[in-house]
């Protein structure tokens, strides 16, 4: 019987996450397994990996074969590196203290890379948020300017209409008075001429 370290799919449609399990290679993907050793969630950025380091290392040393994806996950978490160093200790290449020192050094470098990636993602999201706010502010200012122009145009039209109405209302009696004035003057002149004639 060959033992595999592989993923078992969980979660709903388009929201998948995985259990990292040790199972018989003949079992179905989501079927029976020997032991669950971790969880993998690829939806988050960076991906969330929670694994029992000692159990994973023990199964690898006992001959369990990881699938390609699980191999990448175990490499990312340093399980394969630890196994490699322990194999070096068994062969007498270096002692266990040197293996621990190398592993801790590798782990520190890996953690620094992860932190740099997280901070880069945070910085990028912050910049994106600022750009969106600036774009929204520019749109808001443009709309406010357009609205102010529209209100000013409406006010000017209303004022012009009011002036026209006032002029029309005030202009009709004035015209009548102007028209009446010459008639009165003509009457007065005619009366004066008739008086002169009579004299």
Work out the pLDDT band at 190, boundaries 50, 70, 90.
low
Evaluate whether the domain defined by 3-79 bears CATH number 3.40.630.10: no
**Predicted local confidence at residue 6, as pLDDT:** 93
- pLDDT digit string, tens, across residues 42-84: 998 788 899 999 999 999 998 899 999 999 999 999 999 999 9
Work out the pLDDT band at 175, boundaries 50, 70, 90.
very low
**Mean pLDDT, residues 161-190:** 62
- Based on its alpha-carbon atoms, the radius of gyration of the chain, rounded to whole angstroms, reads 46
Partnered with residue 66 across adjacent β-strands are 5
pLDDT at 178 over 50: no
DSSP 47: P
**Predicted local confidence at residue 2, as pLDDT:** 86
């Amino acid at each position: 019987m060959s033992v595999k370290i592989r993923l078992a799919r969980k979660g709903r449609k388009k929201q998948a996450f995985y259990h990292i399990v040790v199972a018989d290679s003949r079992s179905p993907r989501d079927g029976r397994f020997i032991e669950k050793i971790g969880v993998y969630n690829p939806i988050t950025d960076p991906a969330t990996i929670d694994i029992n380091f000692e159990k994973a290392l023990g199964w690898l040393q006992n001959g369990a074969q990881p699938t390609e994806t699980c191999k990448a996950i175990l490499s990312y978490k340093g399980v394969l590196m630890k196994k490699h160093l322990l194999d070096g200790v068994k062969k007498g290449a270096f002692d266990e203290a040197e293996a621990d020192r190398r592993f801790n050094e590798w782990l520190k470098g890996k953690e620094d890379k992860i932190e740099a990636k997280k901070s880069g993602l945070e910085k990028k999201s912050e910049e994106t948020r600022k750009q969106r706010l600036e774009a929204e502010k520019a749109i808001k200012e443009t709309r406010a300017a357009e609205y102010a122009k529209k209100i000013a145009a409406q006010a000017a039209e209303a004022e012009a209409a009011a002036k026209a109405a006032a002029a029309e209302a005030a202009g009709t009696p004035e015209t009548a008075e102007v028209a009446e004035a010459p008639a009165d003057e003509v009457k007065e002149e005619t009366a004066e001429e008739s008086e002169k004639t009579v004299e």
